[in-house]
């Protein structure tokens, strides 16, 4: 089992929603007024190659592949992936650095 820890960084005092999914939504974690709170997904993540999340703020919705096996395999060794999620971008926190990513492109249905 993979343990991932998500550290959500808030912008002001906005309500944030986090939806986690493999192919369809199976859990919803709602965090209000987040300031460096951790979201422990140990019970949700199973041995799979991809998990994506929907992050929603007032006036903004973004999608991101929060766990990609090829990219995040290093998280398995210490059983922790740490992320700071900003409205502008998600950033993976590493031992001596951080790497920020673009939000997924949203496809209209």
Q: How many domains does the chain have?
A: 1
**108 domain-assigned:** no
DSSP 101: -
pTM: predicted TM-score of the whole model, two decimal places: 0.63
Domain assignment present for 41: yes
- Tens of pLDDT, residue by residue, the chain (109 residues): 333 445 444 444 455 556 555 543 333 344 444 444 445 454 445 555 677 777 777 787 888 887 777 777 666 555 567 778 888 888 887 778 888 999 998 754 4
The Cα–Cα gap between 51 and 81 comes to 13
**What CATH number should be reported for the domain holding residue 34?**
2.60.40
Look at residues 65, 40, 68 and name the one whose alpha carbon lies nearest to residue 55: 65
Q: Give the structural domain span for 14.
A: 5-100
109, part of any domain:
no
């Amino acid at each position: 089992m993979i343990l991932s820890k998500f550290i959500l960084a808030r912008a002001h005092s906005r309500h944030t929603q986090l939806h986690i999914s493999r192919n369809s939504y199976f859990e919803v974690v709602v965090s209000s007024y987040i300031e460096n709170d951790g979201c422990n997904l140990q019970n949700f993540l199973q041995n799979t190659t991809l998990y994506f999340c929907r992050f929603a703020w007032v006036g903004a919705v973004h999608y991101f592949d929060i766990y990609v096996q090829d990219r995040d395999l290093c998280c398995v060794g210490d059983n922790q992936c740490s992320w700071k999620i900003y409205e502008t971008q998600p950033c993976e926190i590493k031992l001596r650095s951080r790497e920020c990513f673009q939000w997924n492109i949203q496809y209209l249905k």
